[in-house]
Structures are given as C-alpha cells and as structure tokens.
Amino acid sequence: MSSSNPQHKLHVMFFPFMAYGHMIPTLDMAKLLSSRGAKSTIITTPLNSKILKKPIDVFKNLNPNLDIDIEIFDFPCVELGLPEGCENVDFFTSNTNVDGNYMAFKFFISTSFFKDQLEVLLKKTRPNCLIADMFFPWATEAAEKSHVPRLVFHGTGYFSLCAGYCIKVHKPQNKVALSCEPFVIPELPGDIVITQEQIIDGDNESEMGKFMIDVRESELKSSGVVVNSFYELEPDYADFYKRFVAKRAWHIGPLSVINRGFEEKAERGKKASIDEAECLKWLDSKKQDSVVYISFGSVACFKNKQLREIALGLESSGTSFIWVVRENTDDKDEWLEEGFEERVKERGMIIRGWAPQVLILEHQATGGFVTHCGWNSLLEGVAAGLPMVTWPIGAEQFYNEKLVTQVLRTGVSVGATKHVKAMEDDIISREKVEKAVREVLVGVEAEERRKRAKKLAEMAKAAVEEGGSSFNDLNSFIKDNSHKLHVMFFPIMAHGHMIPTLDMAKLFSSRGAKSTILTTPLNAKILQKPIDTFKNLNPSLQIEIQILDFPCVQLGLPEGCENADFFTLTNNSDDRRAMISKFFLATRFFKDQLENLLEIRRPDCLIADMFFPWATEAAEKFHVPRLVFHGTGYFSLCASYCIRVHNPQKRVATSSEPFVIPDLPGNIVITQGQILDRGEDTEMGKFMTEVLESEAKSSGVVVNSFYELEPDYADFYKSSVAKRAWHIGPLSVHNRGFEEKAERGKKASIDEAECLKWLDSKKPDSVVYISFGSVANIKNEQLIEIAAGLEASDTSFIWVVRKNGDNTGDKEEWLPEGFEERVKGRGMIIRGWAPQVLILDHQATGVFVTHCGWNSLLEGVAAGLPMVTWPVGAEQFYNEILVTQVLRTGVSVGSNKHAIMGDFISRENVEKAVKEVLAGEEAEEMRSRAKKLAEMAKAAVEEGGSSFNDLSSFIEEFSS
C-alpha cells in the first residue's frame, strides 16, 4: 500500500543520532517508507552524509521512481568544543587518544545546536511527521512549533524498553544487598531475572543523568514511538509496551531485511575492510552451519588481554570462524598471540575494521553468532535464523541477552555479568569462550536452539511481507501519519453559530479530517466539555481548540464580553443594538492572529463565519481557501439574495402590504415588515456590505441543510447566487448518544434525566415544546400572554424562558399568579438553557413552538415535528415561510414584524396555533409530512445520502 494521494505524498523526515548503530536502521527505515510510496528525507551532517550517500545511490539506481534524499545540517565541531571532524560517535570510540566518557557527553549535549536548523526546515518543508532519535529530546519542542508530529526512534526492541520502564518505575535494584544478587524485574512478563550490575542505572544528578531525564520527558510529549521489531518476536512485550509504556507505537521491523540484493547488503554502514566477494568465497568452502561469526558492533572496544582470551578460546574450540576486530589507532597486534593466524589459517578469518555483516550472517555456512547483543546485530542474527552466544557489553544489551536466553531460548550466555566499563581487570576466560562456542554449535540442545532460531527467521520474513504483522503496522503508520485534510473552523462567538460549527468539526473529524476550532478563552470552556466527550467516544479522531486573544476592555467592550449571550441579557434595545455593532466590529482584532496561525499551520481550508469578512483576505495571503458558513439554509439565502437584487420592498405602499419575492421559486409572499433591512448607510449596514463582498471573493459556502429539504432553493442557490456550495446537514443528527445531545451549548438549567423522566410519563405526540432560542428577548407582557395561552390550550408543555434583564430577579412579574400551581403535572418551565435535542427527539413531544432560528428549525425537522412558527428577527421570517408555505409542516402564530419593532401576539393566538398543530383538521397531514422529512434528514447523512455525498465531494476537493 502506498501513500494514497499523489498530491499529498506522505513525507517523513528522519533524524538519526550520528552513530552507525542508529544511522543504519534509520536508513533502512527511510528506504522502507520510500518503497511504500512516501518521500523520505534523512537529516545529517556533512561527513555522515558521505557515509549515507553511497547506499542511497544504490537504492535509487535500483528504484529510480522512489523518493529519498539527504538534508545536510551544519555541525561546527570546533566551535562546539569538539575536535575537528568529530561528527560521529565512531570518532571517539575508535580513537584511544581522547577521553571517551567526556567526549561522549560533550557530543550528546552539542547536538542541541541542530534545534534552530530543524525548526527552520520544518517550517519550510512541513513534513507529515518527524522520526527523530531518542537522543534528540529537543526535537519534540522543535516539531511542535510547526505542528509536525514527532515520533521517537530508540533503535532497540520492545523487551528492553519494557524492562527499562519497569526498573525505572519500581527500582528493584535498590532492594538488594549486593550488586550481583539476582532479582525478578517487577511487572515484566516472564519472570525475568537480572542483577544490579547488568542494568542501566544512571545517576539522575549527573549531567548525563539529567540529559536522560530530558530524553524521557520528551518522549512522553511526543506523538508515539517507531520500533524496529516484529510482533512474533516479542508479543508479550509488544502488548505490554503499548498498554503501559507508550501511548502509540508501531513495529515495522526487522528493518535489515529491506536490503535484498548483494550490493545493498554490502553497502550498509562503512566500507567493508575486506573484499566482500572474497569473504563469501571463503564461506562457500565451508560446510553448512559450521562457521561461528564473532562481532561486537561498531562501538565496543575490548582490552588486549580480553582479545587474547577470545583468540585462544576460538583456537581451542576447533571451529571455523570469522572474527571482526574493531580498528583503533594502535597498529600493532599486541592482542594477537604469535603464530595464531598461521595456526588457524584454513579455518579462521580475522577482519580488522568493518565487516559485511548481513552477507556473512545470511550465508548458509554460518552456524552461530557471538554477539554483543546490540539490537541491530541481534535482529540481523534473528533474521538469518542463527543461534547466538550472547556477550553483552553495555547500554541495554543485558536486557537483549535476557530476551535471547530466557525468552526465545535461541542462545547461550558467555558468562558476562556486568558492563565492560565496570569489569576493570575482570575478563571472560578462553575456557568460557570455547565452551559457549561449542555449546551453541554442537549437541542436542544446540539442534533445538537452531530449530527455534530458524522458525523465528521464517516469522521475521513473513512479518514484513504483505499481510504480516510489521507490514500491517506500517500500513497503520502510513494511514495515521499521511496527509489528513485539515479544516480550520472559526465561528462567531454566539451559541447559534458555535453549536453547528462544533457539530461540523466533529463531522469532519469522523470522516478522517483534522478539525481545529478557533475561539476565545471563555468560549473555549463552553466547547471543551462536548469535545472531550466526543474524543472519549472516538479516541483516534482529531479535533482541537485553538484559543485566540480577545481583550474586551481594550476593544471598548465590557469585561468578559466574549459571547453574544453577554449583551442579549439586556432588555434595552438601543443598548443592545449599539453593543452588537461594537461586538461585530471588534472581531477585526482577530485578523492578525488568524494570519499568524494560517502561516504556521497551513490548513487545507478555513471555514469562517459570515460575520468575519476580513477572513477572506487573511486566508488569501497564505493561499488557504476560505469557505463561508452562514448558519442558515438555502431558502433564506436565496430569498435575501432576490430581495437584495430586486428591492421589491421599495415598491409597496405600506410595510404590511404583501408582495411576491421576484425570481425566487414558489411564488413566495412576504411583507416589508418581515424582511431584514439594516440600512446601507448605517454602521451595521456598511459592515454587511463587507460581508457580502467578502463572500463573493471566497472559495464557496458550506450550508447546514440537506437537498431533500429545499431542492429548488439548493439548485437556485448553486446556479444563481454562490459560485460553489456544499450542503452537509442536518449537522445536529450526528450527536447520537445521550451525553452528546445533552452537552450541546451551555450547561442545561435542569437535570436532563429528570426532564426525560417527566416526558416518559406523557403520551406520544402530546407535549408542546416552546423555545425562542439563545438570543431573543421576549418582554414580560408577551410572556404573560404565552403563559395564559398555554394554560387555556389545556395541553402538556415544556416552556423555556431565557433569563434577561427583566426576569432575573426573585419576583417573576412575567408569570400570572398561581400559574405553575394550576398547570402542575402538565407543564414544566425551564428557566435558562434546555437540553433541546433530547426533548425534541422524545416520543412524547408532539409540537415545537419555535422562533424559526435555523438550528432550532433543523432540529425540529430531524425530530419529525410539526411547528408553530413565531419568528423574532434576523432571517427567521424567511425560515417561517419555508415551514408554512413550502414544506407545509407548520402554522404561524401570527407574528408580522421583527420583535424589536414591538409586535405583540395575544393569548388567543397562542392557544389557537398550539391547538391547530396538535389536533386541528390538518394536524395529521402536517405530522405525516414532518415525519417523512425526518426520515429524509437521517437518510441524507448516511452513506450514499445527499449530504454524505456532498461532504465527500468537499473532502476530495480540498484534500488534493
């Protein structure tokens, strides 16, 4: 499986620590990702790039269409206090003239010099992810600045990572009397026995100890871990690691098997110190499984005394061998007993320097591997099907030995009991060397070990083939880290816009996109709870909040005025209008912040509220498509367009004279008093002109609607009004469970469960639900009429009354005396915020008295409810006409003008409308049509539905 989208090829950046044991598997990993369709970039220094270039050239010659390259970073050694040319660990581990311990620490610390260069590169290239070595703890923070996921590569397997974790957590080494006293590693599967001398127990107070703390903390903040292993090798430890240690991990090994041909295998690491063909020719002359291969990796240095013991042990064993001895600056072979090479001439080969290890291990003549248990060597031995003599030297190698000897049972220990640095004059004797070599090659147990080793080799090869465990985990990695459509959402700070925007962000996230919602600190608190609920239900989906600053007082607004809810609490209409105008204009303060964010994050598109006209220009600067979200449907958008173009309201004598809206399908009748006319010369009128101009320059419109609800108007809008539009609603239906529905908007002013329990006591379709949305302020006189009308109707009801400047006190002047007592049992008043979708969806709810705000109207449609329409302002009269004249699923209460003009509805009208929708002559027909629309609404969002398909088109277009 390759990266899915050619325009968005997965780009993985690799940054290995400058040591062969880290660079070699990283190169293999880069080749593997490249072979699966990704673009691979390896970051390294000038001298190390020369080491990597040859094998990369070989790979590219064999695979000319694959994408892999090197990015060179500056590493001024001398300026950093290192010797000239010290760009690789090999420099100080093979140079006896330097203090290795001091140089190692200095080298590790100096790599932080790369941080600034990495930040610049990530900002410029924006890879899908960065796989950086564990020894680069600063890489997590650097990647985070450009919102690039940083993955950690340790270069070891699950077993040692789990063992290290358990020892770090439980500190069992502190509970033994002697450093050589064995103990079982707590919690680690398999009752693994080890000693204090064999573990890595760094001093947290030392400089290197503090550095390793940084390493661990950095890993915790990273996006996961990539492991060079395969599941079948260490299943219990893979499971343990993913469950207890790392949040996310992918095993994609053994990486060495990506090298298939002679040339690729020969070019791994440094240039071999022997002619590879001659080496293989020598092996060809030996019997199958007869040769022991001895190598202690690219870092370990033995003292001469130990080398002599190895030589004599090999000689005494009588076996054929290839022994790799690392080069150092001392040319004299003082470690070699005189005449040794002559005596073993026919059966022994010494390679001084670098060996073509994989070629040797895979040769049929090789029958055993004496290894230091470095993870690369161990995995290469496993892939070659070889039993091993384990001789750990340092780092995590004693853990790896335990895996081989205690878990896999494919090797025998030579008898090393502590790290080489701690051994001082202690050595492994020639007798132990001879015994271990013989034991691994010959005998009944040797055959059993060999069988287990061969079986593991088969598993290793199967793991990387199609359908294998590592192949599949790599598929998951590619899928998880491939380009995801990143949509940024920016709603105006009002519940009527924030709620559908959150639903929209959740919808996009559920379809595989990454969703980012921009908002202010106080509004973030409102959104966080439902987002947390969604993420708990869908832990793999990506949705987040980005907080922008909104200094209210500095902008001339009251402290805490971050939401339209703030100024709708006042009943003084003049104050409210002034505050609304100031609030809308103050949102321009976001523009610079938005531009900075778009420059850093580079989302695929920005869906910004209609009331942010400056967002189009901000997005255009960074070539990010800006889509407009109005928060209403096609009908009202088309109606307002036709009125704006033709101005029919200017051709009538009175504000109450009805007229047909020109051009609009359906011969729709309206009056001047019902349309929204802010006046072009007012401050708000000029602002709305900007809104329209901004929309004309945008990349299109996203509509919370579904085609079957308003097909003529969807067609008209797309052909005559907006260049491009996608309908993806109704958005509210994506909240499936109780918790999601309950948490939409503010915290309910009633216990949701109690409310539903009350509804459970009522007959189906018997309850009237009355709510006027999150903005409308109804005067006390009108509230009294509503109360009286509901009482006279003799129906069960739930009535939501918003708290405002008039009704926040203890004395409720809007409520007729004794009202609640008289309607007790059949009426419920919710003072504040109601769990609306839960109520509308309940089978007892039969009618919805609504202000015709688009969110409420759509929620009523999705619930299959007939409606009593009572528009209050904004585009709500258009929405009423859709319900009453087009869909014919509701009746009007009789409101003829915007609430701010003082329209008044009598109790008789309230009673009449409620009764008409519940039990009138046309009630059943209305209910039948409403139920049918609810079925269409649900079908629209399911796979193959009109909204599902329009969303698919949107995702496809903006992903490419």
Q: How far apart are CA 24 and CA 54, in angstroms?
A: 12
Q: How far apart are CA 665 and CA 881, in angstroms?
A: 13
Rg (CA), the chain: 37
- Are the C-beta atoms of residues 895 and 871 closer than 8 Å to each other? yes
- Are the C-beta atoms of residues 749 and 834 closer than 8 Å to each other? yes
Q: How far apart are CA 381 and CA 387, in angstroms?
A: 8
Angle formed by the axes of helices 375-383 and 444-464, to 10°? 100
Q: What is the dihedral of CA 695, 698, 703, 707, to 10 degrees?
A: 110
Q: How far apart are CA 955 and CA 945, in angstroms?
A: 15
Q: Which two tokens stand for residue 59?
A: 């790979």
Quick one: three-class SS letters along 745-785? Answer: CCCCCCCHHHHHHHHHCCCCCCEEEEECCCCCCCCHHHHHH
Which residues is 352 bridged to in the sheet? 325
User: Residue 589, class by beta-carbon neighbours within 10 Å (0-12 exposed, 13-18 middle, 19+ buried)?
Assistant: middle
Q: Determine which one of 22, 495, 497, 630 is catalytic.
A: 22
Q: How far apart are CA 334 and CA 324, in angstroms?
A: 16
What 8-state DSSP symbol labels residue 368?
A: E
Q: Determine which one of 133, 604, 609, 950 is catalytic.
A: 133
Q: Is 170 a catalytic residue?
A: no
Q: Is 419 a catalytic residue?
A: no
Task: Encode burial over 536-569: b for 16+ CB neighbours within 10 A, e otherwise.
Answer: eeeeebebebbebebebeeeebeeebbbbbbbbe
Cα angle 881, 866, 918; round to 5: 120
Which amino acid does the sequence have at 468? G
- Are the C-beta atoms of residues 324 and 348 closer than 8 Å to each other? no
Q: How far apart are CA 565 and CA 553, in angstroms?
A: 17
Residue 123: partners with Cβ closer than 8 Å, 6 or more residues away: 145, 146, 600
Q: Which two tokens stand for residue 121?
A: 């590169």
Q: Report CA 935 to chain centroid distance, whole Å.
A: 34
The single residue listed with the structure tokens 């390896």 is: 42
The single residue listed with the structure tokens 């469970």 is: 737
Q: What is the dihedral of CA 159, 163, 166, 168, to 10 degrees?
A: -130
Q: Which two tokens stand for residue 800?
A: 């939501």
Q: How far apart are CA 656 and CA 636, in angstroms?
A: 20
- Are the C-beta atoms of residues 361 and 341 closer than 8 Å to each other? no
- Are the C-beta atoms of residues 471 and 460 closer than 8 Å to each other? no
DSSP letter string, 559-609: TT--SHHHHTT---HHHHHHHHHHHHHHGGGHHHHHHHHHHHH--SEEEEE
Which residues is 718 bridged to in the sheet? none
User: φ and ψ at 876, to 5 degrees?
Assistant: -70, -25
Q: Which helix (H) or strand (E) holds 68?
A: strand 67-72
State how beta strands 658-660 and 669-671 pair. Answer: antiparallel
- Are the C-beta atoms of residues 565 and 802 closer than 8 Å to each other? no
Q: Which of 67, 32, 27 is nearest to 49 (CA)?
A: 27
Would you please indicate which residues are annotated as catalytic (active-site) residues?
Answer: 22, 133
